[in-house]
Structure formats: C-alpha cells, structure tokens
Amino acid sequence: MPTRPIWAEVSLPTLIHNYHLIRDFVAPHATVCAVVKCNAYGHGAVPCARALEAEGVSWFGVTSADEGIELRQAAVTGRILLMSGIARGEAEVAVAHNLTPAVWSAEQISEVNSAAQKLQRNAFPVHIEVDTGMARQGVSAAALGLLLEAARRARSICVEGLHSHLASAEVVDADDVEVQLAAYQRALEQLAAAELRPACLHLANSAAIVARKASWHRLGPSTVLVRPGISLYGYYLPFLTQAGQASETEEPRVKPVLAWKTRILDFRDIEPGQGVGYNLTFVATRPTRIATLSVGYGDGLSRALSNRGQVLIRGEFAPIVGKVSMDVTTVDVTQIPGVQIGDEVVLIGEQNGRRITAADVAGQTQTIAYETLCHISQRVPRRYLP
C-alpha cells in the first residue's frame, strides 16, 4: 500500500463520457478503436481498457506485443491492433495472443505467416500500413506491389486492413493532408487491382476525427475505424490554420480524465536575500513562506517548471520557486492564508473552481499534453474513481 502523499486520480466515468461523445460523433460511419498505448497515455491501460470494453468497445490500439499481452492477461477479449507492428521474433507471440499486427514489409508478412502455420491459425488477420507521406513507418507506394505479392503468396494470413497516419491532421487547411488522403486512395485501388479488398480501413486519429472528416466519412464500403487517443483522455492539440491562426472546430466536448495531486510536507519562512533550492535560482525579495511538496521530476513533474509553473492550494495559485528536484518541489504560499502541513496540492486538475490542465502545463514546458500525461511516472499511484 503506497504511503507517500502523491497520487493521480483517474475518473473512469469521465473516460466513458468521452468515449460516448466520440462514438456518437462518428456513428454510423465509423467504429471506435480506443488507443490505450503507452499505458493509456499514463492513465493505466488495463483499467481503462476494461472500462471501455464494458461499454462496448471492440477494438483497442497499442504500441507493441508486450502491451497487447498485458491486456490479454487482464482478460480483455476485444481486437487488439499492434500499431507499431512487430519486431523480429515477435510474430509467434502476437499470433498466440490473437494480436493483430500492422505490417509493412515482406519479412513481417513471412514471419506472421510462418507463426500462423505453426500455431494452426488459418487466415490470421494483418493490417497493411502504407506510408502516405509521413515517412515514419509503413510501406512506400513504390514497394507496395511487392508487398502485395508476398501477401497473396502467404496462405495462412489475410489482409484484413489498410491504414495510414496523417502528419498534420490538426492543421485544418494543411495541403499535405490532402496529398496523404489521395495517396491512401491510390493504395486502396492498388489492393483492389491485386484482388485484395480489406474489410477494415482506418486513417483518423483524434485530430482527424474532428478536422478531417474525409478520413473516415464515406471512406468506403468496408468497416471504417477511427483511432482516438488523446481525445479519450480529455484533450486535443490546438486546431490551427497553416498561417498559425486558431481555427474554430466542432469537436466533441471531452473532459480531462486525470487529476494529479500531492500534499504539503513542510514549511520554511525565509528573509529577503535568501535563496531556495539547487543553485539558489530563486532569491526572496520579501519575507516569504515556502512550502515543500512531495513531488519532483522523478514523478514526472518537468524540471522546466522551475521558477515558472504553479500549483493549486486551497483554491489559490501558488508559484513554483527554485528548481524542481527529483523528489520535492518548493512553492511560494505567502499569500495563501491558513495553509498547513498535509494540505492537498493540485498539480493537474481542479480545486475550488480553479483549474490547471495538462495542456496548461505543456504550454509552460513547450511540449504537448500527450507528453505531460505520459511522463507521470509509475511511482505515482493511480486511483480509479468508479
């Protein structure tokens, strides 16, 4: 039983609320594949997947076979897509656990086919990932023909899906998205010419669901999946134009699922001229009351928040002063009356009508909410609110 006063609260009802909003937004044109990779963006893959499956989610997206096996061992029975494919030697374990791999090379197809033959699994499904322009993973247009020949020769697999990923879905007028959508359609035509008609098509992440409906609406007669990730957990990237201007969108009004909290450990009263923390980067200019908090960069609180970030205590904002240490952080509580050792401190979440979001923290550290959430370390216990 963890005793250190730091924890993250994960609201499963809010997760389900967000799923319902997204599901209804794309229905009846698409089916939700809930992305729970990277430990459900720091929220806990197993509890989140179980809650979502109980609400009818039938597809889950993970990074690797290890993440898929974790779900299987937790009795998640839905389809599990290995979005980053399989590494050499992983095919057999993927087939054994009924994990659906993305493939983009003849070598991967051969390995999956051999594993399916060994385990007597006929027509084992794979999803071909095509590189439509992001140049990260997936088969290139030039190599797709050879890949399809390999797939047709592999008697123990079936090409169930064709998918890709959009590089700039949150940029509402990005030209490269149109180029990618056209490249995806050409790949579909190439599969049809090879007499391969995948039953499952998918392109859209959280941003594309909102800003690029062509990536899932009227995509084809096959089953269309959408792959919401960050939106399930309550966030979107900012929707912008190519000129960098904010763009109004009609996205499902999702809510943050996670709150991150700690408590005050101790106080120090310091005089003008006295410094705080490593290298004394904060120096008091007036009599100052400093509270020490049980959180540091070892828990995932970015060191970039040193002398920049803030927390909520008794419903008031308290600035971080001095450098964030590995295990503790100091804040200025001079202007907050009545603070005591043991008071709850909100790092992400709401308190008395005020709020700090993961997006707020990300803005202060020049990153994105994805990274802020994923960086909350495993030594921070998750408490699941039913």
Neighbours of 87 (CB within 10 A): 11
- Distance linking the first and last C-alpha atoms of the chain: 19
The closest alpha carbon to 55, from 22, 29, 87, belongs to 22
The answer to whether residue 19 is catalytic is no
Total length of the chain: 386
How far is the C-alpha of 268 from the C-alpha of 290, rounded, in Å? Answer: 5
Catalytic residue among 41, 118, 213, 278: 278
Place of tokens 């490593």: 278
The closest alpha carbon to 228, from 29, 28, 59, 377, belongs to 59
- Buried/exposed 224-235: b ≥16 CB within 10 Å, e otherwise: bbbbbbbbbbbb
Q: Which helix (H) or strand (E) holds 352?
A: none
Catalytic residue among 37, 41, 233, 235: 37
The answer to whether residue 278 is catalytic is yes
Contact 158, 126 (CB under 8 A): yes
Q: Which residues are catalytic?
A: 37, 278
